[in-house]
Structure 1
Amino acid sequence: MCGQRQTGAETSMIDLSARAPQAPSRTRFLLYENPIAGVARRTLTDDVLSVLQRRGCSVTRLSPGADLALLDWDRLANEQDAILSAGGDGTLRHVAARVPQDVLPIGIIPRGTGNVLAEEIGLTRSPARIADALMHGPAVTATGARANGQPFYLMAGIGFDGEAVRRLDTDFKQKWGKPAYTRPVLTSLAMPEPRLRVSLDGGRQADAGWVLVANARRYGGSFKLSNHAGLHQPGLIVYLLPRGGLIRRLTHLTALGLGALERMPGVEVWPAMEIEIRSDFPSAVQIDGDAFGTLPLKVKWGEPKLALIVPETYAARIGAGVMPALQRT
């Protein structure tokens, strides 16, 4: 029978099976959740777990605040099939940074504010469909990048959006969700634009007033930032937005909301593997929607690599098969 256990450091395993038409059924899950993530979807975790349990799955629920780095992952890899990250994009980044690579695939229960990753892979908010993906969805390789040594998987923003995230009242965000961004966005719009000095792959040099670094197509949830980036694509796509005052920045924001930023006059779009950004004063940075201090910043694409459980429709769209079985030595 299925059930939940409350513990500070519990169990987990994985079998990603050799290339096959369908990933094997997973029935044993280790759950890590961010209890304060999201506003309207705080019941989504329990709803998904109820579906999994009705289907005969067991779920080991970690105690809130459990230190993932201290868990016995060798043991867990023989006792569980996957680890679940219940929260937003920041929660997934936290989990991925602390779970050793090539041990367990990671699935998500999207209950954050933006849920960019869920939008990216086409994961709906239906508990039944989330459970389907967690049990049967292929595990594909998602390649991340490092910002000053710290991993991220989706995007980084330097300048305007970094400042807005830095000024965000997280308690207000937890209570009200996206409306909490209104005040910090307006405040950031009124601030002087920085002069950002950007170096791409040690060669191309450019100046900008706002820089976006994309490792995924989506930004801020459902907004489409890039036609060229993707978790399955090599390298990063860098957007260099020129300085130009309030009206130009509002125009850029409108274009971003319409998915037309790449077509805006003066916006440069470049592929890159390594990026360095500096400024005359400490401009703010965000990665995957979380505040990340200030410049200078060094970004390098290529690792860490994440075994990410995705819906079959996403795997089919990117032409990905099931990952080869992880080898235990």
Structure 2
Amino acid sequence: MSPARRVLIVFNPTSGSRRRGRLHRVIRALEEAGAAVDLRVTEKPGDAEALAREGAGEGCYDVIAAAGGDGTIDEVANGLGADAPPLGVVPLGTANVFAAEIGLARGAGAIARTLLDGERRAIHCGRANGRRFLIMAGAGLDAEVVAALDPNLKRCLGKFSYIIETARQMFRYDYPVLDVTLDGRVTRAVTAVACKGRRYGGPYLFAPGADLARPEFEVVLFDKGGALPVALYGTALVLGLLPRVPGVRHIAARSITVEGPSGAPVQGDGDLIARLPLAIAIDPVPLTVLYPPPVP
């Protein structure tokens, strides 16, 4: 084993407020294995990106880890350039989709082993209006839910806050038609989501053909709006049947534009990251991520 000697952990206390114990156990396991750990705590949005960029620029860390939810991981990833140390993950968020995508267990021991001796893999992230995202970015109902979600409700109820806000928006949202261009091909939908990962909301299969290692998106298009179709889509997602539902299309593409109501929200990995009109492309610079080490 060739453990990392210096680990920088960028911690978002908002997303990880209920799981500080896990973070402390991870740090203890790292230090017991001989690693030197520096913990830097965010105070406001944007801090995680700035702290990651600062740490990468210091040139003394073997790993820069994001401790928080998927939004925190995205921020840290946006602070890492081509020559930065690999990205590590301490999942403390609501859904932890990225951790599920790379097969990272939630136990402190498994997390620490991955930070110390994980397998380095290059992944191809997306860029939404220039901003890096790791799992997915989209416009339509799911972006409207993210934009309207009460942060206090999210902190108190976790995943259930998204269910509550979706139930509200499925009746309130007016489902405007979006003009979507995929590698030059024009189509229309009421919701469009460009996916690099396969999962949505945690363990639920959403884009079965997506692959972090491939420089391509799987774009999921929803053709119908309204409360009844949305209820059908949600039920099918939970049951693992979404790819079979009529009115849901899965299309591979590398370059995507979405036009619709100007200023409408765009979500990336569960956070508001942009506004329409939207241009999505593969990030030309791969990101190195620590995956769990192979099982002997």
Q: Same fold (TM over 0.5)?
A: yes
Amino acid at match of 1:225: F
Match of 2:54 in 1: 71
Runs of 4+ in 1 over 6 A off after TM superposition: none
For residues 202-224 of structure 1, the C-alpha deviation after alignment (integer angstroms, 9 at most, x for no partner) is 2x111111112110111111111
Amino acid at match of 1:257: V
TM superposition shift of 1:69:
6.7
Match of 2:181 in 1: 199
Q: Tell me how far apart the structure 1 counterparts of residues 87 and 158 of structure 2 sit (CA, whole Å).
A: 25
Q: Tell me how far apart the structure 1 counterparts of residues 97 and 230 of structure 2 sit (CA, whole Å).
A: 22
Q: 1:156, 1:213 within 8 Å by CA — same for their partners in 2? A: yes
Match of 2:6 in 1: 28
Q: Tell me how far apart the structure 2 counterparts of residues 91 and 253 of structure 1 sit (CA, whole Å).
A: 26
For residues 22-44 of structure 1, the C-alpha deviation after alignment (integer angstroms, 9 at most, x for no partner) is x7321211111101114542321
Q: 1:54 aligns with which of 23, 32, 40?
A: 32
Q: 1:284, 1:295 within 8 Å by CA — same for their partners in 2? A: yes
TM superposition shift of 1:103:
2.1
Q: 1:38, 1:174 within 8 Å by CA — same for their partners in 2? A: no
1:44 correspondence with 2:25: no
Q: 1:141, 1:305 within 8 Å by CA — same for their partners in 2? A: yes
Match of 1:224 in 2: 205
Match of 2:98 in 1: 117
Match of 1:264 in 2: 245
Q: Tell me how far apart the structure 2 counterparts of residues 83 and 128 of structure 1 sit (CA, whole Å).
A: 18
TM superposition shift of 1:64:
3.4
Amino acid at match of 1:198: V
Uncovered stretches (5+) of structure 2, i.e. residues with no partner = none
Match of 2:283 in 1: 302
Q: How many residues align?
A: 290
In the TM superposition, what are the counterparts of 1:286-301 in structure 2 within 5 Å? 286-301=267-282
In the TM superposition, what are the counterparts of 1:1-329 in structure 2 within 5 Å? 24-38=2-16, 40-65=18-43, 67-68=50-51, 71=54, 73-74=56-57, 76-77=58-59, 79-190=60-171, 191-202=173-184, 204-280=185-261, 282-313=263-294
Larger Cα-atom Rg: 1
TM superposition shift of 1:184:
1.7
Q: Tell me how far apart the structure 1 counterparts of residues 264 and 4 of structure 2 sit (CA, whole Å).
A: 45
For residues 279-322 of structure 1, the C-alpha deviation after alignment (integer angstroms, 9 at most, x for no partner) is 246433211110134321110113342110111249x9xxxxxx
Amino acid at match of 2:150: D
Q: Tell me how far apart the structure 1 counterparts of residues 32 and 124 of structure 2 sit (CA, whole Å).
A: 33
Q: Tell me how far apart the structure 2 counterparts of residues 101 and 171 of structure 1 sit (CA, whole Å).
A: 36
Q: Tell me how far apart the structure 2 counterparts of residues 80 and 70 of structure 1 sit (CA, whole Å).
A: 12
Percent identity among equivalent residues? 35
TM superposition shift of 1:70:
6.5
Secondary structure at the aligned position of 1:32 is classed as strand
Q: Tell me how far apart the structure 2 counterparts of residues 270 and 278 of structure 1 sit (CA, whole Å).
A: 18
For residues 59-106 of structure 1, the C-alpha deviation after alignment (integer angstroms, 9 at most, x for no partner) is 0122434632762645x32x2211111011111111111122222111
Secondary structure at the aligned position of 2:116 is classed as helix
Amino acid at match of 2:218: I
Which is further off, 277-286 or 301-310?
Answer: 277-286
TM-score normalised to the size of structure 1? Answer: 0.83
Uncovered stretches (5+) of structure 1, i.e. residues with no partner = 1-22, 317-329
Q: Tell me how far apart the structure 2 counterparts of residues 174 and 260 of structure 1 sit (CA, whole Å).
A: 29
Which is further off, 305-314 or 150-159?
Answer: 305-314
Which is further off, 280-289 or 292-301?
Answer: 280-289
Q: Tell me how far apart the structure 1 counterparts of residues 226 and 86 of structure 2 sit (CA, whole Å).
A: 45
